[in-house]
Amino acid sequence: MIRPKALLKGGTIGVVCPSKWAPKEELKAVQKIYESHGYKIKYGKSPFLRDNQFAGTPEERARDIEKMFPDPDVDAIVCARGGYGANRVIPLLDYNVIRQNPKIIMGYSDITALLHSINQQTGLITFHGPMFVTYKQEFIPYNWEMWESIVSGKSHIEATNPPDLKFNVLKPGVASGLLMGGNLTLIANRLGTPGQVDFDDSILFLEDIDEYLYAYDRYLVHLRQSGTVDKIKGLIVGELEDIKDDTIPFGKTTDEIILDVFGDLDIPIVTNVACGHGKYQMTLPVSHPVALDVSSDSFFLSWDESPVT
């Protein structure tokens, strides 16, 4: 794996929109937060382009991302927001440019596909974490402090939920492996394609939003029946926001669905972790070695070596 360079105080963050566009007033409001903490912002073209729901055409978004990597004035790249559309960008990217100019790139949700494609094609460690407009409603110290400690190169990271977010231990245990995963819908959509992700011997993390319970069950069953998750070493499930039921109840909670699908595996499983669409968001290095320690009343995700240089 290739570790990108650290982002230090005074550095410049490049902002791109691989998916949907973000309102200009949100971008400008969040820009003030980053600048007040000592960082400079450089926007690509895509945050200000419009193509129906999208921040420009797929070609425009792809070229915008590419230009950020060799740009000597940009130290790290943060995606403005998710939504939908990154899958159209992925086949258009020149991965040689990215491989030759490795930098931090971060996002979550729809950006999951982009993070894994870059990792698969270049070996670059990517980052599942707060996007630029994450702070459009409020500043969340938990998110910021973990993000800053990781992108700045701090080693010996130990992450767990903030005190007011209760996690659920489904199966205790200790495991280690490469950290892989992201949005469940995007992970499932890559099955059977050249971008299918190899999860063997990994610590898998999954999150999603705005799904029906039956659809959540369907995605997990599909993932398990594909055989791609039979050899995972541990499972982390992020907060599941806006999960809905039908008029006739599905009859199981999300935790019960998870145990139905993964309960036969001898692995630690913890849910409602701060790595989803909720208020709290960990910064997680994709394809970096981590350790997961889950007991009856605690869990910790940790790594000793920094994922950046």
Predicted local distance difference test score (pLDDT) of residue 137:
87
- Contact (CB, 8 A) for 255 and 270: no
Domains in the chain: ranges and CATH: 12-139 (3.40.50.10740), 157-303 (3.50.30.60)
User: Facing residues of 292 across strands?
Assistant: 175, 301
Spatial CA neighbour of 151 closest among 246, 10, 300? 10
Predicted local distance difference test score (pLDDT) of residue 58:
98
Predicted local distance difference test score (pLDDT) of residue 48:
95
pLDDT in tens, 207-232: 999 999 999 999 999 999 999 999 99
Q: Return d(Cα 288, Cα 205) in angstroms, integer.
A: 13
Q: Return d(Cα 20, Cα 73) in angstroms, integer.
A: 25
Ranges of residues in the chain with a pLDDT under 70 are none
**CA dist 309 → 6, 10, 178, 180, 305 (Å):** 6, 17, 18, 20, 10
Predicted local distance difference test score (pLDDT) of residue 294:
98
Q: Return d(Cα 269, Cα 19) in angstroms, integer.
A: 31
Phi, psi of 215 (to 5 degrees): -70, -40
Predicted local distance difference test score (pLDDT) of residue 47:
96
**CA neighbours closer than 13 Å in the CB half-sphere of residue 53:** 8
Dig out the tokens for 306 from the structure. Answer: 């920094």
